[in-house]
């Protein structure tokens, strides 16, 4: 059974930093692209960042709203995904979901999602 | 960036009704379109990928189609457990983008 369990969320002041983690199990983690997607309170879904797999040299993509402030990374030996968030802003307040990449015809969407970890940026 | 415009933003329908949700892309994205269902307080669940392919375990009452840059999610016979918000998502190009969501309620 595929499981994704996020942790590391919490309350942080504007300008602060936070590191989110996602522990994966039930599948071959190293084969998959992995993503972070967030959802602000009462709002829709917003893709944040992606890390490709080893076959694609772990290259990354970011939403413009977080580029230069957030860094996605992974540790295949520990089946773990991370999101280092720096220079946090109040508009980064959201539930952050870890999502597994799903490939069809060479293009990747998501299939399984974790339950999310809440991040609140406030003074 | 590809903008995804979803309509309606909300709808109310009766049990047994056929429900249709539309997502319009601002530019072509081939069939690289997915649909997700999210119930209150829960994580999103994948329903459809490649515009019309059902994810494993998803009931066949859900179906998807494409006409040019217009994509449709249909629920053939609405049931109480289908009350949720539905999102489309394009994965043709970066940044990956979602529609604004459609909240489906049961009358």
The number of helices, as runs of H, and strands, as runs of E, in chain B is 0, 11
> Is A28's Cβ below 8 Å from some Cβ in B?
no
Mean pLDDT computed over A18-40: 98
How far is it, in rounded angstroms, from Cα A32 to Cα B4? Answer: 25
First to last CA, chain B: 37
CB A117 within 8 A of CB B61: no
> Is A41's Cβ below 8 Å from some Cβ in B?
no
CA–centroid distance for B2 within its chain:
17
Instruction: Give the pLDDT score at A22.
Output: 98
CB B26 within 8 A of CB B33: no
Instruction: Give the pLDDT score at A26.
Output: 97
CB-CB under 8 Å, A46 with B44: no
Instruction: Give the pLDDT score at B2.
Output: 97
> Is A103's Cβ below 8 Å from some Cβ in B?
no
Instruction: Give the pLDDT score at A32.
Output: 97
CA distance B76 to chain A (A): 22
Phi and psi torsions of B60, nearest 5°? -70, -5
Residue among B87, B47, B63, B104 nearest A112 (CA): B47
Instruction: Give the pLDDT score at A27.
Output: 97
Distances (CA, A) of A86 to A18, A68, A95, A105, A118: 7, 9, 16, 35, 16
Instruction: Give the pLDDT score at B70.
Output: 98
Tell me the count of A-B CB pairs closer than 8 A: 62
Residue among B38, B51, B45, B53 nearest B4 (CA): B51
Instruction: Give the pLDDT score at B74.
Output: 98
> Is B95's Cβ below 8 Å from some Cβ in A?
yes
CA distance B43 to chain A (A): 5
Mean pLDDT computed over A56-84: 98
How far is it, in rounded angstroms, from Cα B30 to Cα B47? Answer: 18
Instruction: Give the pLDDT score at B102.
Output: 98
Task: Out of B36, B49, B100, name the one closest to residue A104 (CB).
Answer: B49
CA distance A112 to chain B (A): 7
Which residues on chain B are in Cβ contact (under 8 Å) with A109? 32, 34, 46, 49, 89, 91, 96
How far is it, in rounded angstroms, from Cα A2 to Cα B92? Answer: 25
10 Å CB burial of residue B75 (0-12, 13-18, 19+) is: buried
Q: pLDDT below 70 — which residues of chain B? A: none
Mean pLDDT computed over A108-115: 96
B 21-60 near A (Cβ less than 8 A):
32, 34, 36, 38, 42-46, 49-50, 53, 55
How far is it, in rounded angstroms, from Cα B50 to Cα B3? Answer: 17
Instruction: Give the pLDDT score at B107.
Output: 95
Residue among A86, A2, A109, A113 nearest B50 (CA): A109
């Amino acid at each position: 059974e595929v499981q994704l369990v996020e942790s590391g969320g919490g309350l942080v002041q504007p300008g602060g930093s936070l590191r989110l983690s996602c522990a994966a199990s039930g599948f071959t983690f190293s084969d998959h692209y992995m993503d972070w997607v967030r959802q602000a309170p009462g709002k829709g879904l917003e893709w944040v960042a992606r890390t490709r797999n080893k076959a694609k040299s772990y290259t990354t993509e970011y939403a413009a709203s977080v580029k230069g402030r957030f860094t996605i990374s992974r540790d295949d030996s520990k089946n773990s995904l991370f999101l280092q968030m720096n220079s946090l802003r109040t508009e980064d307040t959201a539930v952050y979901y870890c999502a597994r990449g799903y490939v069809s015809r060479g293009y990747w969407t998501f299939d399984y999602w974790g339950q999310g970890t809440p991040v609140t940026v406030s003074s | 960036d590809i903008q995804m415009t979803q309509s309606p933003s909300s709808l109310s329908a009766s049990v047994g009704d056929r429900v249709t949700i539309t997502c319009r892309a601002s530019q072509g994205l081939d069939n690289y379109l997915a649909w997700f269902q999210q119930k209150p307080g829960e994580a999103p669940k994948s329903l459809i990928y490649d515009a019309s392919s059902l994810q494993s375990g998803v009931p066949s009452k859900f179906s998807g189609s494409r006409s040019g840059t217009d994509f449709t999610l249909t629920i053939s016979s609405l049931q109480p457990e289908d009350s949720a918000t539905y999102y489309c998502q394009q994965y043709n190009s970066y940044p990956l983008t979602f529609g604004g969501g459609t909240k489906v309620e049961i009358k």
